[in-house]
A and B are shown apart, each in its own frame.
Chain A
């Protein structure tokens, strides 16, 4: 177990800045998820921690020790790659044991550690197989097994579930969570999927264009986004944004309201819109309405409520507390 500290870490490729100074303090055993759209620098940040990418300025410390110049293998980390990166010509056993063999670990200890990891991941029947004889989920497990046997201070995950189908992704998500709890290893996990971020993270970091927009517990981030970007990125369906003036708010430029906070009714309320179409999902219904200016607004309501007829004009209402007001720079103005 270990702590991981990023201190004003920056990265630039030539004149282009990719990471504009990120500060994170990861506690022992904490599961941190870095989430953001593609190109926001989240993978680069992870690779910098791994030592696969140089650090332009700032400092990365593992257990308080500066590792900027250390080789990946000397940093006491293990990484799970997006495409698993298993050695195709080696058996599952050898894939997991390779790092230990390189480190000249005694043979019986290698066997014991691999056996433990295989048991934990239910890989015992497959130890003699080659990666190509395994399914996607099994390969994913082998990749995790390879990380586990090293007994690292920090686990690094680079979008490990993005190559799996939807059902398997949900299952593996749970397994990763359980495993991390069981082992208690400090973890840094990169994903573009906000559902993964919400479900896995002890704390999450929302990245936008090389900047950590917000760091916090998933529900905190969800309920109290600090920037317009975070409000729009976290949560599905996405937050609705309307000009502040149109709903009678005098400060700020934009107001964000989550779809589930809007109530529809025929009685005059805050904003009128025409029902464009409805998506009934069973437990809930998504109603898409068009404002006068042509903008679409999504409302999420319970599946038991009657479906509004398409083409009718309805009023949308919400509590003052659920309004998120953002200034011109995208920062939250009425922060709680």
Chain B
């Protein structure tokens, strides 16, 4: 082995090809986003007239403030707030519920424990889209259409997160539980003082995943919010497309799209460190 051992260090033509491939890949994925950004900084006529501009124009502030404060149906600032409330509600609700249920399933012996676990597991196979009609019925009967609770509650129960926490709790050594018992900790004290702090990287990783999941919800908000003031941004973009012969206000729509991407990016970047740690190590 030379001093530059391992695959990553290997230099030469392969190295350049790898990078070239990666750069092309990045450009390929980034190009539409770039186009959207360009389109959000020019005027409507400039977009419609071929060729499409490839460099940003001078209407950035104008277009973005128009999108944020007046929008097409509802101001984007309001839609972003709606999305934020929904995404945070789903994320926090899911984390709390799944932590508690995983704690119950792993640490307590009660009748029907396995059945409950498999019932939770079964819901993994039933995503929102599959159960959307009955769920709509339930939410409508509860009078929760056009409300935050209607947006949040049906998406909270989560098999994925419960399963993830269950797997993590199973790796926590039994001796730790026993040490806590000898120390006199009650089950809930054990949960708060020991289990929860130990799960924090997992919680952070889940927070990122679930926040994006919540933020990107499209079908469910589309179905239950008819009032524009309750629109979320992801479905709101679709609502901006005109029906009939009206002209689409492309710069504003594109500005909205770019704005819709910002919060998930912020969450990912700010929590990247925890996120990666949470996925790769279980910190024993």
The answer, yes or no, to whether B149 is at the interface (CB within 8 Å) is no
Q: Output the least CB separation between A24 and chain B (Å).
A: 21
B175 x A87 contact (CB < 8 A) = no
Residue interface mask A33-72, B partner, CB < 8 A = 1: 0000000000000000011100000000000000000011
B198 and A79: CB pair below 8 A? no
B residues whose Cβ falls under 8 Å from a Cβ of A: 173, 175-176, 178-185, 189, 193-194, 197-198, 200, 283-284
Q: B184 — which chain A residues lie within 8 A by C-beta?
A: 71-74, 99, 102-103
Assuming the contacts A87-B194, A89-B198, asked whether A79 and B182 have C-beta atoms less than 8 A apart, the reply is: yes
The answer on a CB contact under 8 Å between A98 and B175 is no
Q: Which residues of B contact A150 (CB under 8 A)?
A: 183
Residue with the greatest number of chain B CB neighbours at <10 A, chosen from A77, A88, A90: A88
Cβ–Cβ contact B189 & A81, under 8 A: no
Count of inter-chain pairs, beta carbons less than 8 A:
65
Rounded to whole angstroms, the CA-CA distance of A150 and B179 in the bound complex is 13
Q: Are B173 and A72 in contact (CB under 8 A)?
A: no
A-B contacts besides A74-B184, A83-B173, A85-B178, 10 pairs, CB < 8 Å: A72-B178, A72-B184, A73-B184, A81-B179, A85-B176, A86-B179, A98-B180, A99-B182, A99-B184, A102-B185
Q: Is the CB of A83 within 8 A of B193?
A: no
Interchain CA distance A83-B180 in the complex, whole Å: 14
Which of these, A50, A82, A88, A98, contacts B198 with CB under 8 Å?
A88
The smallest C-beta distance from A145 to any residue of chain B, in angstroms, reads 13
Measured CB to CB, the nearest residue on chain A to B194 is A87
Asked if B197 and A89 make an inter-chain contact with CB atoms under 8 angstroms apart, the answer reads yes
**Is A82 a contact of B197 with CB atoms below 8 Å?**
no
Chain B proximity of A14: nearest CB distance (Å)? 15
Closest 10 CB pairs of A and B: A73-B184, A99-B183, A85-B175, A85-B179, A89-B197, A81-B175, A102-B184, A72-B182, A72-B181, A79-B182
Which secondary structure dominates chain B's binding surface? helix
Please indicate the chain B residues that have their CB under 8 angstroms from the CB of A262 in the complex. none
In the complex, how many angstroms separate the beta carbon of A67 from the nearest chain B beta carbon?
A: 13
| Set of chain B residues within 8 Å of A99, measured between Cβ atoms | 182-184
A71 CB contact (under 8 Å) in B175, B181, B189: B181
Which residues of B sit under 8 angstroms from A86, Cβ to Cβ? 179
Q: Would B181 and A88 count as touching, CB distance under 8 A?
A: no
- In the complex, which residues of chain B have a beta carbon less than 8 angstroms from the beta carbon of A52? 178, 181-182
A78 at the interface (CB under 8 A from B): yes
**How far does the alpha carbon of A126 sit from the alpha carbon of B197 in the complex, in Å?**
21
Residues of B close to A98: CB separation below 8 A? 180, 183, 185, 193
Question: Could you list some 12 contacts between A and B, CB below 8 A?
Answer: A52-B181, A72-B178, A73-B184, A77-B182, A82-B175, A85-B173, A85-B175, A85-B178, A87-B193, A88-B284, A89-B197, A103-B184
